[in-house]
């Protein structure tokens, strides 16, 4: 459903966005061909690295063609972290990295970016089909989380399957993942093309092959090669690339999480849990804080997602499949890792100076939770 071409948009660095090359009539051709060339040589690479959903396009309902405000963190999820105490207004506090005082706001406005998931089909037509996927994940997960928070119901197998999908979605739908995947793509992209341009004979041969593939041939191969070697351009990723990466990584992580042991951690000391715009924390013995996961099959891997100020969903290979009381030191560690992993914002039902301190640490330490936890709680003793 996502376009396979136009992975990268290219623009020149020098001269207010206008390319400055030796030959005036060469300028527009150079940019157009550079885009085509870069896309041509990386289609197969990113099809392998990030997956390539079918390019066959169906008629898209009109509701998916509208541009809109899109939640990078679901509204229903953030609503769980509003201050619902007597006399309060059901808002939350949003702390910003690099900021000072938190802002009190509605969950409807706390994590919104216009057209963040807006993609294009093979014909260049914009659509919001990705939102339909997110909606379906939220639709099956919201009742499971509500049952945990309101009724104290430990999820059954279907509930755990839904939560596994939700955890994976919450890791890869975020602004943090978008930045990491974009940075990775651009770095790999530039390195791949630059290495090819260093080999003059190979580069000229590649351009002849590109010509046979139907790319624009009206350009001097050596001028093109020098243009790439000088690196007088900037690269901007197409959102389709990040969404393709999401689909592959999301499926892989959901499958792993579904096999793990699921513990619902319960705050018992009066400390309330925070959340953020990057709320899933993945810690493994192989890659300590990797968004990309690392070796998640190793014993010692921990995946956490706060569900509300009282509950945290916690996956591991050696924890209890039950509710478990969360000791004060453990609560602090979970809150600190949530704050340190935030991309821009931490969301909290309360104010606390320590939140700003954790959020703005230059080299944050992401704490691991002491494991195994305290004795699992009996079925009817985890509420309150």
* pLDDT band for position 366 (cuts 50, 70, 90): low
Does residue 244 sit in the same domain as residue 183? yes
pLDDT single digits (tens) 297-351: 777 788 999 999 999 999 988 888 999 988 888 888 888 889 888 999 999 998 8
pLDDT single digits (tens) 13-43: 333 222 222 233 333 334 334 434 333 333 3
Q: How many domains does the chain have?
A: 2
Return the residue matching tokens 């999401």: 246
Domain termination residue (choose one: 258, 289, 316): 258
Does residue 98 sit in the same domain as residue 29? no
Q: Is the pLDDT of residue 131 over 80?
A: yes
Overall average pLDDT of the 174-198 stretch: 85
Overall average pLDDT of the 4-16 stretch: 34
Of 295 and 306, the structure prediction assigns the larger pLDDT to: 306
Least confident among 48-62, 212-226, 241-255: 48-62
Burial letters for 107-139: b for 16+ Cβ neighbours within 10 Å, e otherwise?
Answer: beebbeeeebbbbbbeeeeebbbbbebbeebbe
Domain termination residue (choose one: 204, 223, 258): 258
Rounded CA-CA distance 32/9 in Å is 10
From residue 240, give the alpha-carbon distance in Å to each of 50, 86, 214, 234.
10, 45, 23, 18
Residue at 83 is within a domain = no
Put residue 220 in one of left, alpha, beta given phi > 0 → left and psi -120 to 50 → alpha: beta
Residue at 79 is within a domain = no
Dihedral of alpha carbons 236, 25, 227, 20, sign: negative
Instruction: Give me the pLDDT at residue 216, please.
Output: 59
Q: Is the pLDDT of residue 256 over 90?
A: no
Instruction: Give me the pLDDT at residue 371, please.
Output: 53
Residue at 156 is within a domain = yes
CB atoms within 10 A of CB 205: 12
Instruction: Give me the pLDDT at residue 77, please.
Output: 96
Does residue 225 sit in the same domain as residue 320? no
Overall average pLDDT of the 214-223 stretch: 71
Q: Is the pLDDT of residue 136 over 60?
A: yes
Give yes or no for a cis peptide into 46 (omega within 30° of 0): no
Rounded CA-CA distance 297/289 in Å is 15
Q: How big is the chain, counted in residues?
A: 384
Does residue 184 sit in the same domain as residue 333? no
Domain termination residue (choose one: 208, 223, 258): 258
Q: Is the pLDDT of residue 227 over 50?
A: yes
Largest CA distance in the chain: 78
Instruction: Give me the pLDDT at residue 42, please.
Output: 35
Does residue 164 sit in the same domain as residue 33? yes
Write out the residue range of the structural domain in which residue 224 sits.
1-73+111-258
Does residue 135 sit in the same domain as residue 96? no
Rounded CA-CA distance 172/245 in Å is 9
CB 11 within 8 A of CB 17: yes
CA 65 from centre of chain: 23
Does residue 283 sit in the same domain as residue 337? yes
Rounded CA-CA distance 70/348 in Å is 21
Q: Is the pLDDT of residue 291 over 60?
A: no
Instruction: Give me the pLDDT at residue 322, please.
Output: 92
Residue at 87 is within a domain = no
Of 297 and 142, the structure prediction assigns the larger pLDDT to: 142
Does residue 282 sit in the same domain as residue 136? no
Of 370 and 289, the structure prediction assigns the larger pLDDT to: 370
CB atoms within 10 A of CB 351: 13
* pLDDT band for position 128 (cuts 50, 70, 90): confident
pLDDT single digits (tens) 50-99: 334 433 334 445 555 555 788 999 999 999 999 876 456 689 999 999 88
Does residue 211 sit in the same domain as residue 272? no
Contacts of 9 (CB under 8 A, 6+ apart): 35, 235, 236, 237, 238
Does residue 290 sit in the same domain as residue 370? yes
Residue at 210 is within a domain = yes
Residue at 82 is within a domain = no
Residue at 80 is within a domain = no
Q: What angle do CA 170, 174, 178 make, to 5 degrees?
A: 135
Shortest CA distance to 272 belongs to which of 75, 79, 82? 82
Does residue 116 sit in the same domain as residue 240? yes
DSSP reduced 3-state for 112: strand
Does residue 179 sit in the same domain as residue 290? no
């Amino acid at each position: 459903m996502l376009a396979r071409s136009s992975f990268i948009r290219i623009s020149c660095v020098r001269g207010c966005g206008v390319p400055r090359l030796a030959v005036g009539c060469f300028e527009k051709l150079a940019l157009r061909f550079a885009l085509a060339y870069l896309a041509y040589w990386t289609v197969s690479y990113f099809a392998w690295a990030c997956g390539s959903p079918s390019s066959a396009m169906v008629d898209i309902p009109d509701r998916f063609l509208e541009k809109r405000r899109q939640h990078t963190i679901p509204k229903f999820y953030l609503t769980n972290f509003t201050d619902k105490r007597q006399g309060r207004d059901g808002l939350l506090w949003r702390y910003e990295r690099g900021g000072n005082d938190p802002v009190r706001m509605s969950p409807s406005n706390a994590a919104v970016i216009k057209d963040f998931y807006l993609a294009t089909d093979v014909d260049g037509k914009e659509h919001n089909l990705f939102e339909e996927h997110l909606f379906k994940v939220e639709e099956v997960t919201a009742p499971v989380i509500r049952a945990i928070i309101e009724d104290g119901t430990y999820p059954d197998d279907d509930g755990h399957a839904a939560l596994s999908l939700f955890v994976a979605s919450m890791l890869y739908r975020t602004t943090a993942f978008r930045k990491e995947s974009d940075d990775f793509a651009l770095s790999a992209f530039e390195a791949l093309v630059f290495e090819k341009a260093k080999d003059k004979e190979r580069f000229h041969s590649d351009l002849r092959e590109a010509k046979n593939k139907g790319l624009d041939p009206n350009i001097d191969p050596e001028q093109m090669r020098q243009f790439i070697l000088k690196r007088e351009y900037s690269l901007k990723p197409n959102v389709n690339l990040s969404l393709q990466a999401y689909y592959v990584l999301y499926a892989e992580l959901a499958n792993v999480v579904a096999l793990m042991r699921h513990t619902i951690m319960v705050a018992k000391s009066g400390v309330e849990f925070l959340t953020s715009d990057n709320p899933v924390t993945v810690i493994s013995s192989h890659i300590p804080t990797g968004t990309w996961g690392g070796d998640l099959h190793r014993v010692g891997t921990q995946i956490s997602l706060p569900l509300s100020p009282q509950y945290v969903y916690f996956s591991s290979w050696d924890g209890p499949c039950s509710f478990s009381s969360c000791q004060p030191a453990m609560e602090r560690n979970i809150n600190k890792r949530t704050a340190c992993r935030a991309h821009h914002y931490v969301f909290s039902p309360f104010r606390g100076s320590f939140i700003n301190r954790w959020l703005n640490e230059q080299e944050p330490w992401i704490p691991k939770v002491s494991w195994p936890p305290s004795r699992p709680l009996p079925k009817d003793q985890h509420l309150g």
